[in-house]
Every structure is written in C-alpha cells, then in structure tokens.
Amino acid sequence: MKEQTGPGEQNWVPTTGGHVAARQAALTARFIRLMTHRVKFRLYLFARIPSAYFSGIRIREMDETRCEVSVPYRWFSQNPFRSTYFACLSMAAEMSTGALAMAHIYKHDPPYRCWS
C-alpha cells in the first residue's frame, strides 16, 4: 500500500478529487463567456442593475484572475463640472471585483449563502 503524503509534498492529492476542481473550472469558464457576451450582459444589467445599464458599463476583458471594466464618458456619467461621477467609477470598480467573485461561485455545489 502506498503511503499518503501531506499537503506540502509533491504527490499529495486532495481528498475531494480532481473532478470537483475540473467541474468548477468549467463552470467558471461558462460564466466568463456569459459575462463577456455583449447582449446577454446588457440584458443582465437591465434586469438586475439598471443604473449600470444606463451608464453604459462594459466588461472589456475577463479571465479567471482579472476583469477589465470601462465606463463611457457621456451625459449620464458626467457631473456638472464635466468630469465623471464618482458613483459611476465606483460602480465599475464594484463590477470588476464582483464579476470575479461571481465567476468563482457560479453554480457552486452546495450553493453559497449570505445568511445562515
């Protein structure tokens, strides 16, 4: 019988198995495809976050480790001093970090809950 090694050693295999990690990686890739699809992303924003939809936030690039979001400079996103509203910039910052978090918990089993 083969001796089991610890997590710091080379031959260590997690007890949950590799299929769980592979399934989650596939789901993460599926979520990224959904978020980078222009029409589906715009429909999601219109249904869930209308202010982001009207300000024109877009996800330019996204992978497992980073997300790049842009906000166009137009009437809805500028203040009376002709600069971009801080709220629009904050919304884009939240979108970039929130999209990454959502990608990693998309259809996770068991589902994550924000309450007990």
Two tokens, residue 71: 């906000």
> Which pLDDT score is estimated for 13?
47
- 44 burial via Cβ count (<10 Å: 0-12, 13-18, 19+): middle
Q: 34 φ, ψ to 5°?
A: -65, -45
Task: Render pLDDT for 51-99 as a digit per residue (tens, 0 to 9).
Answer: 889 988 999 999 889 999 999 888 878 888 888 888 888 889 999 998 8
Cβ atoms within 10 Å of 71's Cβ, excluding its own: 20
Task: Render pLDDT for 8-50 as a digit per residue (tens, 0 to 9).
Answer: 555 544 555 567 778 878 888 888 888 889 999 999 999 998 9
Q: Quickly state the pLDDT bin for 115 (edges 50, 70, 90).
A: low
> Which pLDDT score is estimated for 86?
84
Alpha helices, H only, the chain? 18-36, 38-48, 50-55, 86-105
pTM here? 0.69
